[in-house]
């Protein structure tokens, strides 16, 4: 846990909450800190923290050069990913569709809002491009229209209830969302989707990128609800890392500042009411604890009172699982060929046994997870695209 304390301090230096580490780390500790940053997909942010430290606390030149090479790679991939967002946005608009970039590159505006020199966004490790697509004009079956558009272009590689994975654009993975997200419990899912469907014209806003190009993202108050759900869903589904929690820290800071300037935004009480109605109250309190423990978030910016019990458990899972659960030794690949029924059954059993750890904290989402998967399978199998 001492390594984690050093790592948290390094992140706090990066976001301006500390000026230095409590002690000078040894070469061995720096090696482990670099490994933690890789597992949490925070290499760029962590190295920015290193650069803000007093010179006597820096690691050896070997680590600095290693981190610097990773930093340059992250900057390069960020430019490429942002270019794909703009290219995709422009193409969809020409073809009669509206689009909204979800999380990912849309978070850059929040990162740059925090850093005075506007560099933190370029140091965030990018993932794939998630874009919520709907027909620009009124049609009877919007989701079906979107799917048929991409199928006509022979771009769809896989399809599920939430999104379609399409062919990479300039080497960048892309997911076309029919819905922003979902929840396992049907009653919570209905409330969550209705919020975004009913308010689609209000919950999306343009944002200027690179001082000249424009793409669309969720309005900040709706983004607070959406990204909380995103972290929650990934925790239950496969695991989640600190990168997503840092995204949420940046988002909440931007939301607080924007509320002072934009009276049309939902206030904190209204946002939290939607969070509670969608069944995410307990998770929100756990996440607030993690935000305070890791990133020293002030009480004034929290959505609700933190829960130390649920929060400590959540932080344990985050640090053990790593980014999207890729480093969770409890979820090793099955020694069965993919596609076989035995593989699918064993994978489902393993997933549910993993999720059972969360049943005391989030019973609705855990119990309904198999039900949701059956619903999603039926939706895809019987092509229920009008729903």
pLDDT tens-digit profile of 6-16?
999 999 999 99
Averaged pLDDT, 198-225: 91
Q: pLDDT at residue 139 above 90?
A: yes
Least-confidence region, from 36-45, 135-144, 319-328: 319-328
The predicted structure's pLDDT at residue 326 = 86
Averaged pLDDT, 194-211: 90
Q: In what order do the strands lie in the sheet with 129-135?
A: 156-159, 163-169, 172-177, 129-135, 97-102, 213-218, 204-209
Q: pLDDT at residue 198 above 60?
A: yes
Q: Please enumerate in sequence order all residues whose Cβ is within 8 A of that of 326, keeping only pairs 6 or more positions apart, or say none.
A: 39, 239
Q: pLDDT at residue 352 above 60?
A: yes
pLDDT band at 337 (very low <50, low <70, confident <90, very high): low
Q: pLDDT at residue 338 above 60?
A: no
Least-confidence region, from 27-41, 190-204, 318-332: 318-332
Q: pLDDT at residue 334 above 60?
A: no
Q: pLDDT at residue 171 above 90?
A: yes
pLDDT band at 115 (very low <50, low <70, confident <90, very high): low
Q: Which residue has the higher pLDDT, 331 or 259?
A: 259
The predicted structure's pLDDT at residue 134 = 96
Q: What are phi and psi of 156, to 5 degrees?
A: -75, 125
**Percent of residues, the chain, with pLDDT higher than 90:** 83
Q: pLDDT at residue 205 above 60?
A: yes
What do you get for the CA distance between the two ends of the chain, in Å?
47
Averaged pLDDT, 102-128: 87
Least-confidence region, from 19-23, 127-131, 210-214, 324-328: 210-214
Q: pLDDT at residue 335 above 60?
A: no
Q: Please enumerate in sequence order all residues whose Cβ is within 8 A of that of 100, keeping only pairs 6 or more positions apart, or say none.
A: 131, 132, 133, 204, 216, 217, 218
Q: pLDDT at residue 232 above 90?
A: yes
pTM of the predicted model, to two decimals? Answer: 0.95
- How many whole angstroms separate alpha carbon 65 and alpha carbon 75? 15
Q: pLDDT at residue 340 above 70?
A: no
Q: How far is CA 113 from the centre of its chain?
A: 18
Q: What are phi and psi of 166, to 5 degrees?
A: -110, 170
């Amino acid at each position: 846990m001492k390594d984690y304390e050093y790592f948290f301090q390094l992140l706090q230096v990066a976001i301006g909450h500390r000026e230095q580490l409590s002690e000078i780390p040894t070469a061995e500790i720096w090696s482990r800190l670099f490994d933690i940053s890789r597992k949490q997909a925070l290499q760029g942010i962590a190295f920015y923290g290193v650069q803000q430290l007093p010179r006597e606390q820096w690691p050896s030149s070997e680590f600095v050069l290693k981190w610097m090479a990773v930093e340059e790679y992250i900057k390069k991939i960020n430019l490429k990913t942002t270019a794909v967002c703009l290219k995709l946005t422009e193409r969809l608009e020409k073809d009669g569709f509206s689009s909204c970039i979800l999380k990912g590159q849309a978070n850059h505006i929040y990162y740059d809002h925090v850093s005075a020199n506007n560099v933190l966004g370029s140091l965030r490790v990018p993932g794939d491009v998630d874009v919520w697509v709907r027909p620009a004009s009124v049609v009877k079956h919007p989701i079906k229209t979107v799917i048929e558009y991409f199928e006509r272009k022979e771009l769809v590689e896989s399809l599920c209830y939430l999104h379609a994975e399409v062919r990479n654009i300039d080497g960048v993975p892309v997911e076309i969302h029919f819905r922003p997200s979902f929840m396992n419990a049907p009653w919570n899912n209905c409330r969550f989707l209705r919020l975004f469907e009913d308010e689609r014209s209000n919950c999306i806003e343009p944002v200027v990128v690179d001082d000249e190009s424009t793409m669309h993202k969720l309005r900040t108050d709706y983004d607070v609800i959406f990204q909380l759900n995103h972290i929650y869903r990934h925790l239950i589904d496969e695991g989640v890392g600190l990168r997503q929690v840092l995204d949420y820290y940046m988002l909440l800071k931007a939301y607080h500042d924007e509320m002072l300037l934009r009276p049309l935004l939902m206030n904190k009480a209204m946002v939290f009411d939607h969070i509670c109605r969608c069944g995410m109250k307990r998770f929100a309190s756990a996440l607030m604890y993690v935000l305070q423990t890791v990133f020293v978030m002030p009480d004034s910016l929290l959505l609700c009172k933190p829960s130390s019990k649920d929060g400590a458990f959540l932080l344990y899972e985050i640090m053990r699982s790593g980014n999207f659960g890729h480093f969770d030794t409890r979820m090793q690949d099955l020694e069965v060929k993919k596609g076989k029924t035995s593989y699918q059954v064993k994978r489902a059993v393993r997933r549910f046994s993993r999720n059972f750890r969360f049943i005391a904290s989030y019973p609705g989402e855990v119990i309904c997870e198999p039900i949701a998967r059956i619903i999603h399978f039926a939706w895809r199998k019987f092509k229920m695209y009008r729903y």
